[in-house]
Chain A
Amino acid sequence: MDMNEIKEIFFQECEEQLAELESGLLRLNDGDRDPETVNAVFRAVHSIKGGAGAFGLDDLVSFAHVFETTLDCVRSNKLEPTQEVLKVMLKSADVLADLTNVARDGGSVDQARSAQLIRELEALAKGEAPPAAATAEAPAPRAAAAPKAAPAPKPAAVAAVAAPNDQGFVPVAFSFDDFGGEEEAVIEHPAYEVVFKPKSELYTKGNEAALLLRDLSRLGEMSIHCNMDSLPPLDQMDPEAAYFSWKVSIKTDKGEDAVRSVFEFAEWDCELDVLAVETGEGAEAIGGDLPMQPVPFDLSALDEEPHAPLGVVEEEEQIAAAQEAVAAAQTASNVVQMAGSASRAAAADKGAAAAAAAAQNNAQQASSAAAPTIRVDLDRVDRLINLVGELVINQAMLSQSVIENDSNGVSSINMGLEELQQLTREIQDSVMAIRAQPVKPVFQRMARTVREIADITGKSVRLVTEGENTEVDKTVIDKLAEPLTHMIRNAVDHGLEMPEKRLAAGKSAEGTVKLTAKHRSGRIVIELSDDGAGINREKVRQKAIDNDLIAADANLSDEEIDNLIFHAGFSTADKVSDLSGRGVGMDVVKRSIQALGGRINISSKPGQGSVFTMSLPLTLAVLDGMVVTVAGQTLVVPLTAIVETLQPDAAAIHSFGATQRLISIRNSFCPLVDVGRILNFRATQANPVEGVALLVESEGGGQRALMVDAIQGQRQVVIKSLEANYTHVPGIAAATILGDGRVALILDVDAVVSASRGQPLHLETSLAAAG
């Protein structure tokens, strides 16, 4: 494993920690006062700081240090986590995320913002009101929190010495000058009793008790006693479990913080007590009746560090240090890294059992008992999905061949084929499930967007999320963030009114934006609603007339007026700002959603707010479809769009106008759409009585009856991108390969329905399917 790989793991860890940090802060903001929530938030920042130090990411370490100090005041009940305090912390979490991104991808952060937040965090830690913060009420610290001393650095974890910054914090640089032992004069230094009981996790995360004790010994004169009472006989022991514990007496002038900081990265994986004792009592006080031996160490044989000038560290050493730090930065998240060690794999069961036993006794462990997970490169999963796609196609081909060549219908072969089909489907579902992820990370990112836009606009906004554990294919999740961000901006900037206007309208000053996700009919439905003023239809209509989008005398329904905001370049903003008014936004949203094979609808009530509903496929790799024939062509109609199929009766068909026809279904009329005619497969209209009608739900929510010649069957098909392999075809979403090897086109139902209303097909975009 080289340095870049280790760094990549660190940044992956950072993403998890940042998500944990944000969700913890939001829980605190909602009134959660569980100490474990505070601990989880503190741990997240602490872990990022630890890992960042190993890679010499000084800006990240410095900011995290200040943040952590303030969090520590909350953790120790010196600072009350009020709304104002949490507002600063949520902004700080944003800056921490920015610093992490810059460390990974380059670029720069807003230094002024970062500096301002550092000042605010420091003020909070001192029990003062944040400087220059427009706070409604000052934070209510329970007691002035004295600024903590900078923790002593962790050895062997940095390649260069950083200069002290404004906070007087030097990230993780270590001096080896005192290796030869300290000049122990007659000066009596303060003594500390240290009881150190490692848990098994300390070792499995790459820490080493011996190194921690070595670092401790460097602080001063040390006496140590190893307690082996819990060590079982050889045949009953787990080689990777922790049995030894230590009682140490140390005399040092470096202070208690320095003693504690030795265990900084092992804090969560051990029981640690540090007590200051009267000078001269240390050893006796600790040892009691235990034999204590002074340890006048010559540590030279234990040094892994080369005796080189400080700042010059061999890459191998640096990697080892970074690995150690990254391991230390991992929380007890049950993430099992693929270590590739046969011996460790063999002991996994025993190790897990020991770890589980230890975890039960650990009040500071992360509370979630999530199932163990492994990280797998997405490319590998994608390759697997592609292979399974090919398997599905081949299985279909095989079934087709057997059917065509076996007129006798040998039952054993047919049964075998059915089993194979079922098995293939199960494999495909399982593989797809690997790539399914909850939408939570995307929703969490939106919280930040809301905060930032609320700040810019001066509005008071609360984001409520529901259904964040709803799962959807990662490829869909990755493409959700952009349209959602646009919509959130739109909702806060355009949808919600200013606080005074809301109060005048009898609403609360704080506006609410609600983001929900749920599964419905094999799709994911994401709803974004606000309780703002709703769409100003008069303004939209006038703007559309001014822009020559509609005629001045056009008679549009409310729904049609609402949908005008999706036109490119359409904006009702009175002035151009950083947020809106450039006419870029909702048209991009619609295109993005359609490119995902999704639909978006608006429902708005003046004075009450708007609801944007997005319906998206759960995956871009496969879909369940109805295979139909139209004018000799085979098409696939997505099953999710079909409400029912029916055989039209001549008496149920009604014509009006030159070409329009309606079908009567249970005492209501539904427009009949000839798919073959719309797609130019034939020049004349087909006779509906000779075909089959598919009743579909269109984008606007209305129903249409799509007329096809015949239904061949229903099957799951593997989506292949038409754009990637050929070119865009109007009215067609994607393509697939059938069992007989032929390419079949997948119908874009909404585009066909829109075309039936008179909108040309070429304006519609298509599904950029994952092929």
Chain B
Amino acid sequence: MATRKAAPKSLSLAPILDLNEANALHSKLMGLRGNNLVIDASAVERVGALCVQVLMAGAKSWEEDKHAFAFSKVSDAFTKTTQLIGVNIDHLMAKEI
């Protein structure tokens, strides 16, 4: 993943990422386009497939934009749900931005 030397923006995810949150998450990500992004998913208690879709579409767009898109922290629930639904986020886990 290509990165640029610009201060990354950060986004803290809501505890409940369900159907009602999918639009809000989408809007937040759209507002952060063009920036390197660090996502904090440590507060996530429940996440549904729709919000995972939004996050993965975000990762795809950030990659096209050649900006960094990474998860700094993830909660146990977030990890387990992504595993459960067969979505691998290992390559998106922040190592050093």
In Å, the complex CA distance between A217 and B83 comes to 12
| Inter-chain contact B84/A347, CB cutoff 8 Å | no
Of the listed stretches A294-302, A433-441, A474-482, A510-518, name the one at the interface; the rest are far from the partner chain.
A294-302
Chain B residues with Cβ below 8 Å from A297 are 80, 83-84
In Å, the complex CA distance between A214 and B23 comes to 24
Total A-B residue contacts, Cβ distance less than 8 Å: 110
The answer to whether the Cβ of B46 comes within 8 Å of any Cβ in the partner chain is yes
| Inter-chain contact A239/B84, CB cutoff 8 Å | no
In Å, the complex CA distance between A708 and B77 comes to 83
In Å, the complex CA distance between A343 and B25 comes to 10
The answer to whether the Cβ of B33 comes within 8 Å of any Cβ in the partner chain is yes
| Inter-chain contact A302/B81, CB cutoff 8 Å | yes
The verdict on A298 contacting B80 (CB below 8 Å), with A233-B61, A233-B64 known, is yes
The answer to whether the Cβ of B30 comes within 8 Å of any Cβ in the partner chain is yes
Minimal Cβ-Cβ distance residue in B for A247: B86
In Å, the complex CA distance between A293 and B82 comes to 13
Of the listed stretches A163-171, A184-192, A203-211, A550-558, name the one at the interface; the rest are far from the partner chain.
A203-211
Minimal Cβ-Cβ distance residue in A for B77: A301
In Å, the complex CA distance between A370 and B24 comes to 30
* A574 to B: closest C-beta gap in Å: 65
In Å, the complex CA distance between A295 and B61 comes to 28
| Inter-chain contact A210/B47, CB cutoff 8 Å | yes
Chain A residues with Cβ below 8 Å from B19 are 203-204, 206, 208, 240, 344
The answer to whether the Cβ of B49 comes within 8 Å of any Cβ in the partner chain is yes
The answer to whether the Cβ of A523 comes within 8 Å of any Cβ in the partner chain is no
The verdict on A237 contacting B57 (CB below 8 Å), with A293-B86, A297-B83, A302-B84 known, is yes
Pick the residue among B29, B77, B80 that contacts A234 (CB under 8 A).
Answer: B29
> Per-residue CB proximity of B28-42 to A under 8 Å, as 1/0?
011001000000000
The answer to whether the Cβ of B87 comes within 8 Å of any Cβ in the partner chain is yes
Chain B residues with Cβ below 8 Å from A299 are 80, 84
Minimal Cβ-Cβ distance residue in B for A227: B86
| Inter-chain contact B20/A210, CB cutoff 8 Å | no
Minimal Cβ-Cβ distance residue in B for A225: B86
Pick the residue among A231, A232, A239 that contacts B23 (CB under 8 A).
Answer: A239
The answer to whether the Cβ of A176 comes within 8 Å of any Cβ in the partner chain is no
B38-97 with Cβ < 8 A to chain A: 46-50, 52-54, 56-58, 60-61, 64, 76-77, 79-81, 83-88
| Inter-chain contact B49/A208, CB cutoff 8 Å | yes
Chain B residues with Cβ below 8 Å from A298 are 80
Chain A residues with Cβ below 8 Å from B18 are 208
Minimal Cβ-Cβ distance residue in B for A248: B86
* A472 to B: closest C-beta gap in Å: 39
| Inter-chain contact A217/B84, CB cutoff 8 Å | yes
* B83 to A: closest C-beta gap in Å: 6
* A555 to B: closest C-beta gap in Å: 76
Pick the residue among B26, B53, B64 that contacts A244 (CB under 8 A).
Answer: B53
| Inter-chain contact A237/B84, CB cutoff 8 Å | no
Chain A residues with Cβ below 8 Å from B20 are 341, 343-344
In Å, the complex CA distance between A231 and B55 comes to 11
Chain A residues with Cβ below 8 Å from B76 are 301
Chain A residues with Cβ below 8 Å from B33 are 234-235
* B43 to A: closest C-beta gap in Å: 14
Chain B residues with Cβ below 8 Å from A343 are 20-21, 23-24
| Inter-chain contact B25/A302, CB cutoff 8 Å | no
| Inter-chain contact A232/B49, CB cutoff 8 Å | no
Pick the residue among B29, B49, B61 that contacts A210 (CB under 8 A).
Answer: B49
In Å, the complex CA distance between A297 and B81 comes to 10
In Å, the complex CA distance between A204 and B52 comes to 16
| Inter-chain contact B84/A228, CB cutoff 8 Å | no
The answer to whether the Cβ of A683 comes within 8 Å of any Cβ in the partner chain is no
A219-263 with Cβ < 8 A to chain B: 224-226, 228, 231-235, 237, 239-240, 242-244, 246
* A170 to B: closest C-beta gap in Å: 27
The answer to whether the Cβ of A504 comes within 8 Å of any Cβ in the partner chain is no
* A283 to B: closest C-beta gap in Å: 13
* A358 to B: closest C-beta gap in Å: 14
Minimal Cβ-Cβ distance residue in A for B21: A343
In Å, the complex CA distance between A301 and B48 comes to 14
The answer to whether the Cβ of A346 comes within 8 Å of any Cβ in the partner chain is yes
* B16 to A: closest C-beta gap in Å: 11
| Inter-chain contact A228/B49, CB cutoff 8 Å | no
Minimal Cβ-Cβ distance residue in B for A346: B23
The answer to whether the Cβ of A670 comes within 8 Å of any Cβ in the partner chain is no
| Inter-chain contact B57/A295, CB cutoff 8 Å | no
* B79 to A: closest C-beta gap in Å: 8
In Å, the complex CA distance between A297 and B22 comes to 25
Chain A residues with Cβ below 8 Å from B47 are 210
Pick the residue among A203, A224, A228, A235 that contacts B50 (CB under 8 A).
Answer: A203
* A238 to B: closest C-beta gap in Å: 9
The answer to whether the Cβ of A304 comes within 8 Å of any Cβ in the partner chain is yes
| Inter-chain contact A239/B60, CB cutoff 8 Å | no
The answer to whether the Cβ of A686 comes within 8 Å of any Cβ in the partner chain is no
Chain A residues with Cβ below 8 Å from B81 are 210, 302
| Inter-chain contact B56/A246, CB cutoff 8 Å | no
In Å, the complex CA distance between A143 and B84 comes to 41
In Å, the complex CA distance between A235 and B58 comes to 9
In Å, the complex CA distance between A244 and B47 comes to 15
Minimal Cβ-Cβ distance residue in B for A232: B57
The answer to whether the Cβ of A662 comes within 8 Å of any Cβ in the partner chain is no
Point out which of B46, B49, B76, B87 has the most chain A C-beta atoms below 10 A from its C-beta.
B49
| Inter-chain contact A233/B49, CB cutoff 8 Å | no
| Inter-chain contact A243/B85, CB cutoff 8 Å | no
The answer to whether the Cβ of A213 comes within 8 Å of any Cβ in the partner chain is yes
The verdict on A295 contacting B48 (CB below 8 Å), with A233-B61, A233-B64, A234-B60 known, is no
28 interchain pairs, CB-CB under 8 A: A203-B19, A203-B48, A208-B18, A209-B49, A210-B52, A210-B81, A210-B84, A210-B85, A213-B84, A214-B84, A225-B86, A226-B86, A226-B87, A233-B60, A233-B61, A234-B29, A234-B33, A237-B26, A239-B26, A239-B54, A240-B19, A244-B85, A246-B86, A293-B86, A293-B88, A302-B80, A343-B24, A344-B19
Please give me the 7 A-B residue pairs with the lowest Cβ-Cβ distance, nearest first. A226-B86, A224-B86, A239-B26, A239-B22, A234-B61, A209-B49, A343-B23
Given contacts A210-B47, A213-B85, A233-B60, 12 further A-B contacts (CB under 8 A): A210-B49, A210-B81, A210-B85, A226-B86, A239-B50, A239-B53, A244-B85, A299-B84, A302-B77, A302-B80, A343-B20, A343-B21
